[in-house]
């Protein structure tokens, strides 16, 4: 021991937080993977992009979105039904967990968006995009059919012998319009996706991007990708905050289940040198075994070691149970501190533990060196006396 009791207490507590953080992280990863939580969070983020405030589902912005998600907009529904997006999801026995992709590349997102917007009956793709965004009217097949009916009626009234030139001109136009109608009708009937509407504010955003691209589809895709990447930063942030809250809840459950009361353990550590030594030695050994850091798999690899640590905690708690003093704090406050500490994550505690152990190592030798002269002085004084 270095004699730095406070430092050893901190190292011991941080080591405990680290182990239980890894335990909680393993549980969280298992749960979120089972429920397809990343895909549900991505759905909430994309629905936020493609929906106005009034048509989004507020449920998607709570931590419960990690377990269930709702599509709150027809445009979002159409996007997820697009073949290039639909088949990114892994199909499995539990459809709720595997029906949505957990990641969509920016290029695929923009390609699917443009493909949705350019679907229409104009021959030019740019015109179809403009029509989808309400810049120009949508092509109406009924108007084309009415024009064909009118031409057929006019031709039936012609005398081909007297008005041969006009008759041939009308007949050629009629044949062209019928061919155009047939082509457009075949294209419309082959559409996989149902018609969708774009909310007002979302439409304004897309229209602005379309204007900025100067009606150039390739530039439009680039701008959509930039918009998507900016939103992805927020989506990742949402996911981290939701997972942190779930980790806190799981950490609270672990703290109660294993009686990891931070206040009580800190009190026990400050009184029991053997307990501090055990945890400090365990922390040093753990750092030596993981020189490159820790991740969610670290706990799985150290499960046997973790079990031994828990048994040591139980042993010391049993030994010190008769010595525990009543505290003025609410009995559950120590568990809340533990849960909050666990929610910070294993990497945070690993880095802090690594720094404190290095500080302890640097202080250990100087302290020992200072104690030797004191012993020598004590001998000399005794000899003189």
Residue 253, domain member (yes or no)? no
Residue 182 pLDDT exceeds 80 = no
Residue 251, domain member (yes or no)? no
Residue 231, domain member (yes or no)? yes
Residue 366, domain member (yes or no)? yes
Domain shared by 26 and 45, yes or no: no
Q: Residues near 152 by Cβ (< 8 Å), separated by ≥ 6?
A: 174
- Read off the pLDDT band of 265 (50, 70, 90): confident
Instruction: State the pLDDT at residue 101.
Output: 87
Domain shared by 100 and 218, yes or no: yes
- Read off the pLDDT band of 319 (50, 70, 90): very low
* Whole-number percent of the chain with pLDDT over 70: 65
Instruction: State the pLDDT at residue 231.
Output: 92
Residue 264 pLDDT exceeds 80 = yes
The tens digit of pLDDT for each residue in 103-128 reads: 999 999 999 999 999 877 677 788 88
Q: Which of 191-195, 206-210, 220-224 has the lowest mean pLDDT?
A: 191-195
Domain shared by 370 and 272, yes or no: yes
Residue 249, domain member (yes or no)? no
* Whole-number percent of the chain with pLDDT over 90: 23
Domain shared by 147 and 172, yes or no: yes
C-beta separation of 78 from 62 below 8 A: no
Domain shared by 318 and 221, yes or no: no
Mean pLDDT of 66-72: 75
Residue 256, domain member (yes or no)? no
Instruction: State the pLDDT at residue 29.
Output: 87
Give the separation between CA 185 and CA 30, rounded to whole angstroms.
49
Between 188 and 84, the more confident residue is 84
Domain shared by 10 and 53, yes or no: no
Domain shared by 335 and 379, yes or no: yes
Domain that holds residue 92: 36-132+198-243
Instruction: State the pLDDT at residue 366.
Output: 52
Domain shared by 203 and 58, yes or no: yes
Domain shared by 278 and 336, yes or no: yes
Instruction: State the pLDDT at residue 36.
Output: 86
Residue 255, domain member (yes or no)? no
Angle at 222 between CA 218 and CA 226, to 5 degrees: 165
User: How many structural domains comprise the chain?
Assistant: 3
Give the separation between CA 179 and CA 187, rounded to whole angstroms.
12
Give the separation between CA 37 and CA 44, rounded to whole angstroms.
11
- Read off the pLDDT band of 376 (50, 70, 90): very low
- Share the mean pLDDT of the chain: 77
Beta carbons within 10 angstroms of residue 128's beta carbon: 19
pTM over 0.75: no
The tens digit of pLDDT for each residue in 338-364 reads: 999 999 988 899 999 999 998 888 876
Phi/psi-derived region of residue 134, left when phi > 0, alpha when psi is between -120 and 50, beta in every other case? left
Domain shared by 159 and 47, yes or no: no
Domain shared by 170 and 211, yes or no: no
Domain shared by 181 and 73, yes or no: no
Nearest to 3 by CA among 372, 367, 380, 375: 367
Residue 94 pLDDT exceeds 50 = no
Residue 149, domain member (yes or no)? yes
SS3 label, residue 324: coil
Tokens (6 digits) for 84: 């290039």
C-alpha 233 chain-centroid distance: 9
């Amino acid at each position: 021991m270095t004699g730095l009791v406070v430092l050893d207490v901190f190292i011991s507590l941080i080591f405990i937080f680290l182990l239980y953080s890894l335990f909680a992280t393993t549980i969280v990863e298992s749960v979120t993977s089972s429920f397809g939580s990343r895909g549900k969070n991505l759905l909430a983020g994309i629905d936020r992009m493609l929906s106005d405030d009034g048509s989004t589902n507020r449920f998607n912005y709570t931590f419960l979105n990690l377990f269930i998600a709702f599509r709150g907009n027809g445009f979002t529904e159409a996007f997820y039904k697009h073949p290039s997006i639909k088949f990114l999801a892994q199909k499995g026995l539990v459809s709720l967990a595997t029906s949505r992709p957990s990641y969509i590349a920016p290029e695929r997102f923009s390609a699917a968006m443009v493909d949705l917007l350019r679907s229409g009956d104009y021959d030019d793709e740019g015109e179809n995009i403009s029509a989808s965004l309400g810049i120009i009217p949508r092509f109406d097949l009924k108007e084309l059919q009415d024009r064909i009916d009118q031409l057929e009626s006019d031709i039936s009234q012609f005398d081909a012998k007297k008005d041969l030139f006009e008759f041939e001109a009308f007949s050629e136009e009629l044949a062209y319009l019928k061919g155009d109608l047939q082509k457009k009708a075949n294209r419309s009937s082959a559409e996989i996706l149902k018609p969708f509407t774009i909310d007002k504010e979302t439409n304004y955003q897309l229209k602005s991007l379309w204007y900025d691209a100067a009606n150039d589809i390739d530039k439009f895709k680039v701008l959509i990708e930039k918009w998507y990447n900016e939103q992805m930063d927020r989506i990742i942030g949402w996911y981290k905050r939701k997972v942190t809250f779930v980790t806190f809840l799981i950490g609270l459950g672990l703290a109660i289940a294993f009686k990891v009361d931070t206040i009580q353990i800190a009190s026990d550590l400050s009184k029991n040198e053997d307990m501090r030594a055990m945890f400090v030695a365990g922390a040093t050994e753990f750092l030596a075994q993981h020189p490159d850091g820790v991740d969610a798999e670290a706990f799985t690899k150290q499960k046997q070691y973790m079990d031994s640590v828990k048994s040591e905690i139980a042993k010391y708690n049993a030994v010190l149970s008769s010595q525990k003093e009543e505290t003025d704090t609410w009995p559950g406050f120590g568990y809340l501190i533990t849960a909050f500490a666990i929610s910070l994550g294993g990497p945070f505690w690993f880095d802090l533990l690594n720094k404190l152990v290095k500080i302890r190592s640097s202080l250990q030798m100087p302290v020992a060196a200072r104690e030797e002269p004191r012993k020598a002085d004590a001998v000399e004084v005794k000899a003189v006396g």
